[in-house]
Amino acid sequence: MRRSEINSVLREADAFVRSFGFALPPFADWPPARFAAERARIADLMEARLGWDVTDYGLGRFDAVGLVLFTLRNGRKQDLARGRGMLYAEKLMIVGHDQLGPMHRHDVKAEDIIVRGARDGARLALQLFAPAPDGSIDRTALVRVPCDGVMREVEAGGVVTLGPGESITLMPGVWHAFWGEAGDVLVGEVSTVNDDETDNVFEDPVGRFPTIEEDEAPWRLLVGDYGRLDAFA
């Protein structure tokens, strides 16, 4: 993705989130130089990869296959191993109209996907498959998923749609793809500790993070930029 495209996407995303009255944390507004100046004080923030994230899954077709995220909080993988500490994460996601989040599963993360806001009747659509014993997609088995605490059975490849305030719980292994139906949707995610480097298993070979062409200065940094702050000082 071009940095200019990412900048435009982020400006629209920021306005969309705030239009629902959702207040982002102060660092959401920091320019790149502020991150560079504060690096010693925000080491934990950067290690947890809190902040903005834009991906086209390496396909170069963001409007068709892509996602905007903001990670609000995230624990540590080592705490999961000890079974105590900050074992949870929270994100916001903007799922665009007919914009696909590709079919994938998580091996560790359980997640509640919650529709926080939508306009003009838009809904979040999720296509679901159960995992086979080897972890691959079972294209025949029913999928059992709680929706706001009520267990539902969905046929293999069935689609669940959610409106504002509704949620679905996806346990590790459940295959899912998603998109906005009839409009853009503001989605919350409350989950086990999030590890985007190793805990996303995609059906098709795609990348989790974009390759960025630096055609202009960044308006806001992405979590993937934190490892090269000197470039933005």
Query: What CATH number does domain 3-232 carry, 1.10.760.10, 3.10.20.600, 3.40.309.10, 2.60.120.10?
Result: 2.60.120.10
232 falls in which pLDDT band (50, 70, 90)? confident
Give me the mean pLDDT over the 46-74 stretch.
Answer: 97
190 falls in which pLDDT band (50, 70, 90)? very high
Which candidate, 194, 163, 225, places its Cα nearest to that of 33?
225
Confidence at residue 233, expressed as pLDDT on a 0 to 100 scale: 75
215 falls in which pLDDT band (50, 70, 90)? very high
Confidence at residue 51, expressed as pLDDT on a 0 to 100 scale: 98
Confidence at residue 109, expressed as pLDDT on a 0 to 100 scale: 97
Confidence at residue 41, expressed as pLDDT on a 0 to 100 scale: 95
C-alpha 185/C-alpha 82 separation (Å) is 36
Buried b (16+ CB within 10 A) or exposed e, 27-58: bbebebeebbeeeeebeebbebbbbbbbbbbe
pLDDT tens digits for range 107-138: 999 999 999 999 899 999 999 999 999 999 99
Which candidate, 188, 216, 229, 231, places its Cα nearest to that of 72?
188
Which candidate, 104, 78, 99, 71, places its Cα nearest to that of 189?
71
106 falls in which pLDDT band (50, 70, 90)? very high
